[in-house]
Amino acid sequence: MRTVTNPEILAFGEAMTLFVAEAAGELAEVERFQRRIAGADTNVAIGLARLGFGVGWLSRVGDDGFGRYIRHILETEGLDCRHLTSDPDASTGLIFKERAQGGADPHVEYFRRGSAASRLSPEDARAVDFGAARHLHATGIPPALSASCRELSWHMLERARQAGASISFDPNLRPSLWASEAEMRDTLNAMAGQADWVLPGLAEGRRLTGLDTPHDIAGFYLERGARAVIIKLGPEGSYYRGTLDGHEASFEIPGVAVSNVVDTVGAGDGFAVGAISALLDGLAPRDALRRGNLIGALAVQVPGDMEGLPSRERLAEQEAYWHERAKTS
């Protein structure tokens, strides 16, 4: 277990205990499940920690067996959990997921209403040392959980900005958690305007902006303050529009072909791990998109949300392999 003294990356949100069906079929018919953890925010935090970054995690779990399981997994993955609170008055959120077949998106059912994480508020960040942070990763999930979580999200964005940390923001739409489409759209677009790097999926960008093309969606967020917009295009790859060498640039990077898609959940989080880590490594945007595409492809080849996220060593091997393959194709 790696000890993190002063995390350079901050992440926050809800980690849930995940139960994945061992066999295909409707949840009503499944008898056996495998236990894992899930949550878009934790997927990215774990992925960055596996690549050697010091990551601090802020959240709440129930003072129950599921919460203790999550804490153990996150600490084993190397996350600094000093700001992970065990709440005696609320339960840890749960997810049950079907075993998908043929690359289809699996059906999932959530049991998270009133969860410990939904009780997060700015008070939970009172002891966070924002001055030591280099980067904050935020998503649209915490502000959807509750009013107090939304206040926390704004607090994290504002404090990170004041401290001079860079910010990435992935909308990660969860429409069923919002009171209205308008509230979701207005809140997440405003939060995206506080970020340096905005990472929507194409369908998410269309829904949030009302615009159709990656170029126009990116322009919407650039006009609101983002430095760069990176749009996930699924198997087709990804699109970048933003500042490059002092000038605005835009381009698309094709995706990495995957012959056997096992589980699509977590693909976008894997892409975020790749793109964010590359930009923090000082790589050029084209290389960031290539790494994002690669890790997104690795994520869909295994069951579970974060099992395919690579170590730094495996990433280097995969990048070298695909670099050689590109030269000979």
CA atoms within 13 A on the CB side of 64: 14
Amino acid at 317: E
Residue with tokens 């596996």: 50
Catalytic residue among 212, 269, 281, 287: 269
Distances (CA, A) of 169 to 127, 165, 177, 310: 23, 13, 18, 22
Q: How far is 187 from 208, CA to CA, in rounded Å?
A: 10
Residues 76, 298 contacting (CB under 8 angstroms): no
Residues 197, 276 contacting (CB under 8 angstroms): yes
Rg of the chain (C-alpha set): 19
Residue with tokens 């790494």: 291
Question: Which of 307, 265, 278, 299 is closest to 51 using CA atoms?
Answer: 278
Long-range contacts of 317-326 (CB under 8 A, 24+ apart): 318/294, 319/290, 319/291, 319/294, 322/256, 322/290, 322/294
Residues 17, 39 contacting (CB under 8 angstroms): no
Helix or strand run (H / E) with residue 231: strand 228-232
Residue with tokens 């002891």: 127
Active site residue 269: yes
Q: Which residues are catalytic?
A: 269
